[in-house]
Amino acid sequence: MKPLEGKVAVVAGATRGAGRGIARMLGEAGATVYCTGRGAAGSPSPGRHAARPETVEETAELVTASGGTGIAVRVDHAVEAQVEALFARIKAEQGRLDVQVNVLGSPHMESFKPFWELELADDLPGFQSYVWPHVITCRHAVPLMMEAKRGLIVTVQESHTLGYGGSLFYDLGPLVLKRLMYDLAEELAPHGVAAMAVAPGFMRTEEVLATLGATEENWREVAQTSEQAKGFGFIGSETPCFVGRAIAALAADPAVMRKSGGIYGSWALAEEYGFEDVDGGRPHWGRYFAENFPQFADAPPKTGRRWELVEVDAARGGEREPTEVEMAEAQGPSPAS
């Protein structure tokens, strides 16, 4: 039996890139995956992806081919009515939701000017349009999980740290979403629902491969010969399926609540859970970045202070108070059940 057989997942932003890889690997683990996004057959993605050919229907087919059940639904996650309708449909068709993954783009930036030079009319809407779809989606996903007192919510982010992102809104967007997961983790802890952020390394997405003139068959050669690829650190890259296997491993972990509220890199989760990328490798972007881009990895903050997560449980010797759900499971069925 596959580890996620019988489980139901939503990947919001599954049209391409990390979203498509995650949907495929949840399918590989046996899940039924609702693949949502704005890029659908007859309705191409808007914005900077308007010229891209990928659709949610193609992703759903890949999920099914990988061993799961893929269901494509065109959804603009910035439109609450569409999001509400999505989860009403899932409740009617499946009666449950086990995994919610949000891969909803990245902050749109007109420039990386200092804060005092920003044109708020240009940059503020991009920030808002990045953050609110995550909030809307979580708001309507959570009740389905709370009914069953189980579930996993993940936001996929570009960085596994709380370090400054280089420009105000480009920093605030990911930081707000990491904080959103922490807030949800706090509120949902008594209800058996985990929330966390997961960061992939540099991914060989469809767009990246096209930009560098590479394919999955020749990417290593391109990484060694192209100066542009070398500048990006292409040789240390991973497929979008690597972070997909990370999230599938989290979803299958019966003790995933102990990770709730955290931020994790795909490479660290690979070492913990023992999975590999679909090409058989086990890339470690954290180590590669530190070794090859020390000017960025080791750059001290100008304030001399860095925001970091602290594992309180580890500081207490691994002890923490169990949640209500964990206590109930430890006690076994009640006499009335």
Say which CATH number the domain at 302 has. 3.40.50.720
**Predicted local distance difference test score (pLDDT) of residue 337:** 33
What is the number of structural domains in the chain? 1
**Domain enclosing residue 308, as ranges:** 8-203+238-331
Is residue 213 assigned to a domain?
no
CB 254 within 8 A of CB 3: no
Inside any domain, residue 161: yes
- Residue (of 169, 102, 187, 166) closest to 137 by Cα position: 102
Tally of CB atoms within 10 A around 295: 7
Residue 223 maps to a domain:
no
pLDDT digits (tens, 9 = 90+) for 186-209: 999 999 999 999 999 999 999 999
pLDDT at position 336: 38
Whether 2 maps to a domain, the answer reads: no
Inter-residue contact 98 to 150 (CB < 8 Å):
yes
Q: Which residues of the chain have pLDDT under 50?
A: 315-320, 323-337
In angstroms, what CA-CA distances link 67 with 136, 153, 231, 240, 307? 30, 22, 37, 17, 41
Q: Which residue has the tokens 């229907």?
A: 57
**Predicted local confidence at residue 264, as pLDDT:** 97
100 three-class SS: strand
Dist CA 324 CA 35 (whole Å): 32
CA atoms within 13 A on the CB side of 31: 29
Is the residue at 225 inside a domain?
A: no
Cα–Cα nearest to 147, from 187, 196, 193: 193
Q: Is residue 324 part of a domain?
A: yes
Domain for residue 222, yes or no?
Answer: no
- Considering the chain, what percentage of its residues have pLDDT values greater than 90? 69
Distance of CA 246 to the CA centre of its chain: 10
| pLDDT attached to residue 157 | 94
Half-sphere exposure of 195 (CA within 13 A, CB side): 25
Look at residue 329 in the predicted model and tell me its pLDDT: 45
Looking at residue 330, its pLDDT comes to 46
Considering the entire predicted model, what is its pTM? 0.90
At 3-22, the pLDDT tens digits run 999 999 999 999 999 999 99
Q: What is the pLDDT of residue 229?
A: 92
72 forms beta bridges with: 35
The reply to whether 219 falls in a domain is no
